[in-house]
Amino acid sequence: MRTHPKHRTALFSALLLALAVLLAPEARAQKRIKTENLPNFDLHPFHFGFLLSYNTADFFMKLKPQLSTDTLQTVDHLRQPGFNLGIVGSFNMTPNLSVRFIPTLSFQDRILKYRFKRSDGTFIGFDKPVESTWLEFPVLLKMRSDRINNFAVYAIAGGKYSIDMASQKDVNNQIDDEVVVKIKKNDYSAEVGAGADMFLPYFKFGMELKFSVGIPNLAIDDGTRFSSPIESLRSKCWIVTLTFEG
């Protein structure tokens, strides 16, 4: 069952507020006493945890050259909010370099907006949501600074393979008002980002910002007036992530 994007945003905001309340006492304690938490954390080669993310998904879109007889006036794309849930697996090669495998379920929405000109000179618009539930398999290289007390910063880069578990590529588009814009079921992307780790008494908490850009063309041209003008659609997504590792 899908949740409305506004509900997703409200849920994620509530999680952030609860997290801020939980971390505030610890932050005040850090100012009073500079104690190194989890001093042996980097000595263990493997670490596991989970993540919560807020994403805004969109497309890189390229349109075909339009004929003068076409009634299509404009096509626009709008990013929409979503969220991710994932499991973190980290192999630490050195205290400053690790490989992370993060199987993730990502709920992403985008909207394509169309404006057509009728034969009588009036205009009509259509909003076509493109909804995906991606099962993602990112493999990322994490390069981290040395710890300063209980704080460190890092950069990440890598790639991921994704499968759309809610793909509508086989839908039979018969009714114009109910036509869906189909995209391919499989995608692979490059990812790059940066973040910060905070070592708390019982776990390591991380915050990061990441950008993902898709490589293949996801557009499926099934002959409808909504898919025919599109030459290519490539995914792109900004992701704000909270990680919890033990």
Written as six digits, the tokens of 187 are: 């995608």
Whether the predicted model's global pTM rises above the 0.85 cut:
no
Which residues 6+ apart lie within 8 Å of 193 measured at CB? 155, 156, 157, 208, 209, 210, 211, 239
pLDDT at 133: 97
- Burial grade of 235 (CB within 10 A; 0-12, 13-18, 19 or more): buried
pLDDT given for residue 1 in this prediction: 42
The CA-atom distances, in angstroms, between 174 and each of 38, 70, 190, 239 are 60, 21, 36, 35
Range 5-245 has CATH code 3.40.50.720 = no
In this structure, what token pair is assigned to residue 139? Answer: 């493999």
**Which regions of the chain are under pLDDT 70?**
1-33, 66-70, 173-177
3-class state of residue 147 by DSSP: coil
* Residue at 99: amino acid letter: V
For the record, the structure tokens of 192 come out as 């790059």
